[in-house]
Amino acid sequence: EIVLTQSPATLSLSPGERATLSCRASQSFSNYLAWYQQKPGQAPRLLIYDASSRATGIPARFSGSGSGTDFTLTISSLEPEDFAVYYCQQRGNWPLTFGGGTKVEIK
């Protein structure tokens, strides 16, 4: 099973700042890496697929990068609605796995 480790667990930032979230895999796999955003009481929302492709309707301030075992989600300038929990997920190997999440909170 591929274990995904997200860091940091919590990121305290102000609106307008840049957020950089990390997702590290226990072994290399194809770039079938997705990122999701989840707000309290809501279902997750797909942001990024295949490591760097934005899903439909996702603003350009969200970008994904990386390959092999190291992946990054960047939010270029935080909007108030971006404060949430973010999860990475690998879709390259069974069983599918999620990272533990990074909470982006208002500083």
Partner 1 sequence: EVQLLESGGGLVQPGGSLRLSCAASGFTFSSYAMSWVRQAPGKGLEWVSAVSHIGTSTYYADSVKGRFSISRDNSKNTLFLQMNSLRGDDTAVYYCAKDNVGFDSWGQGTLVTVSS
**Chain residues that interact with partner 1, rule: CB under 8 A:** 1, 34, 36, 38, 43-46, 48-50, 53, 55-56, 87, 89, 91, 94-101
Identify any residues that bridge with 67 across adjacent strands, giving them in sequence order: 70
Between 18 and 39, name the residue whose CB sits nearer to partner 1: 39
Query: In the complex, what is the shortest distance from the CB of residue 49 to partner 1, in angstroms, rounded to a whole number?
Result: 4
Q: Which residue, 49 or 71, is less far from partner 1 as judged by CB? A: 49
State in angstroms the smallest separation of the CB of 14 from partner 1.
25
- Cα–Cα separations (whole angstroms), residue 58 to 19, 25, 36: 16, 25, 11
Nearer of residues 7 and 77 to partner 1, judged by Cβ: 7
Q: Which of 52, 20, 35, 31 is nearest to 98 (CA)?
A: 35
User: Taking Cα atoms as reference points, which of 49, 44, 38, 54 lies closest to residue 91?
Assistant: 49
